[in-house]
Structure formats: structure tokens, C-alpha cells
Amino acid sequence: MLRRIEARIVNPLLGTRIPLPTYATDGAAAMDLRACLEEPLVLAPGQRALVKTGLAINMMDPGLVAIVASRSGLSLKHGIRVAQGIGVIDADYHGEIGVILANDGEQPFTIEPGERIAQLMFQPVVQVGLQFVDNFSTTTARGEGGFGSTGRL
């Protein structure tokens, strides 16, 4: 069953001077988030910045999470990535989405108003209860093997 998410525009630039977030193709798993800026922002090598998107979501469904991910082209070509790896937007967060971008490249990078800066994907959530035990009752082929225990590192 398709779930619907209510999205709100919280910046008047979004939808007027800056395009709304969209899915690039029918098969896209994530929509592109754009920089909702009045003017260009220069991100120096090694620098991080919070870039607003002008979009707030009201997910409301505690069974969902929104994930902010890097755009592969920006990462490969310019070293621009979501600073913390991915961003997690919990169902009970109701503010504007901001993306923390980091410049791992060797050159300054200019983020233009309306530039596609990240991707937004929605995923189901499972919360797990932790239970302390003295040992595990089942064994597996791997056993207690760690990194590299099933092949090459």
C-alpha cells in the first residue's frame, strides 16, 4: 500500500525561484533536495555547512523515517557529501530539513541557489527491544568469526 506524506513549504523561495523536490525518474527511490539559498555559498576544502532546503515534512506515521543521502555525482566529482554519512529525520521531527554538507575535495565548491545537494528517501522503521543474556542458544556456520571470517577482507 502506498503511503502519503504531507510536505510543507517553509521558505517562499521554494516553488518560486527554486524548484520543488522531485523524483528524477519513475524508478527513482529518492527525491532530490535543493539548496534553498538567497545567494551562492562557497564551501572551502575541509569545511562543513548546514544548507537549508526550504522543505518541512510532517510524517506523522511512526512507522517511517526519512533518510538524507549524498548525491553520488557531487561526491565523485567534487568531494561534496552529507557530513554525517546519512541524515536521519525521525517521524516526530517537524522542522525544516537542513543538510549538513562537507567538502572532502581539494578545491572550494560553490553551492548555487536551487542546486541539487542531497537525496531524500523514505523507509519503514522497526524498533528493536534489547535483552541481556548470558549466552546465545543457537550456533551458525560463522560462529563468533568477525571481520574477514567468511572470505577476503
Residue stretches of the annotated binding site for substrate? 71-73, 84, 88-90
Nearest to 100 by CA among 112, 88, 114: 88
* C-alpha to C-alpha distances, 88 to 39, 47, 81, 123, nearest whole angstrom: 27, 21, 15, 10
d(CA 40, CA 15): 18
User: Contact at 8 Å (CB) between 129 and 78?
Assistant: no
Task: Give the residue numbers of the binding site.
Answer: 71-73, 84, 88-90
- Name residue 57's amino acid: I
Question: Any alpha helices (H) in 14-102, and if so which ranges?
Answer: 72-78
